[in-house]
Amino acid sequence: MISPEKEKELLQQMAQLNIREEDLIEKFVKGSGPGGQKINKTSSCVYILHIPSGIEVKCQRTRSQASNRFFARRTLCERLAEQLLDKKMKRQQEISKIRRQKQKRSKRHQEKVLRDKHIRSETKARRKVTDIDL
């Protein structure tokens, strides 16, 4: 049995993630697995599809349909929150990458780049001199 506090908490979480009941397709299907004849006869397994995101959840934790509805919705919220957080993290990574690319090089790094260029140009100059001598 799910406590009213937990149900209220789930409804608040759904509201924060903009999950509306109208956006959900809910089906009750017959379960599978261990449990014998009872599990094969009753439709206690809950299938939920969140239309905007395309996330599907199938839950058969308990023999109670009401409990499975609660657990399925909670799993849906967790997956959607994870998906949103992942998108947010990728966007932040892109922004920080652009910032690093635009950032001015330090004086020490500039000197190192110039030193490397100078060495490279000397190497190429030596090649030209040896090619002409041959």
Query: Domain span at residue 92?
Result: 4-97
Tell me: do 15 and 76 sit in the same domain. yes
d(CA 3, CA 1): 6
Q: For the segment 5-17, what is each residue's pLDDT rounded down to a tens digit?
A: 999 999 999 999 8
Check which CATH number belongs to the domain holding 57 and give it: 3.30.160.20
Tell me: do 119 and 71 sit in the same domain. no
- Domain count within the chain: 2
- Residues 30, 41: contact at Cβ < 8 Å? yes
Q: For the segment 93-122, what is each residue's pLDDT rounded down to a tens digit?
A: 999 999 988 888 889 999 999 999 999 999
